[in-house]
Amino acid sequence: MYFPYFITYMAVGFVISLVVFLWAIKNGQFKDQKRARFLPLEDELEPSVAKVSTFKRYEVYTLLFLALAGLAASGAVLVFSLLNANI
């Protein structure tokens, strides 16, 4: 009998989420969203640690290549697995 545990799990999560959501609406958490965007920046800002010009282009290209290679590999293996799944 799995239902009591499963329903308990979902019910606890649902009730907590609903209570907090209603609190957020009542408390005005969804208002003034434009100001909220700036909240991390309202702290004092440290001086710039490095100039933008020190940006190493080759490092970006390498990162891009690795990212694209990862994407291509993931895509290739997905296609491969689908072709071989005897669907």
Partner 1 sequence: MTTNATSALPTYMTAKGFCLTSGFWMMVATFMGLLGATELIAPDLTENIGWLVFGRVRPIHVNLVLFGFVTPGLLSSAFYYVPRLLRTELYSEKLGVITVLAWNFALVTVVVSLAMGYSQGREYAEMIWPIDMLIVLAFTLVFINLIMTVAQRKEPILYVSVWYVCAGIVLTAVTFSLGNVIWKPNSGSLVGIPDAILLWFYGHNVFGLLLTPLSAGVAYYVIPRACRAPLYSHTLSLFGFWSLLVVYTHIGTHHLLQVPVPTWLKVISIVDSVAMVIPVMAFLINIWYTAKGKLGEIHADIGAKFVFTGTIMYFFVSIQGSMMALPDVQRVTHFNNWVVAHAHVGVLGFAGMISLGGLYYILPRITGKPLYSRFLADFQYWLILIGVIGFTVVLTIVGLIQGNAWLNGETVYRILPEMHVYYVTRASIGLIIFSSAILGLYNILRSIFFNPGEIS
Q: Which residues bind partner 1 (CB under 8 A)?
A: 1-2, 5-6, 8-10, 12-13, 16-17, 20-21, 24, 27-30, 32-41, 43, 45-46, 48-56, 59-60, 63, 66-67, 69-71, 73-74, 77-78, 80-82, 84-87
Query: Shortest approach of partner 1 to residue 57 CB, angstroms?
Result: 10
The DSSP 8-state label assigned to residue 1 in this structure reads: -
Query: Shortest approach of partner 1 to residue 65 CB, angstroms?
Result: 10
Structural tokens at position 33: 């969203």
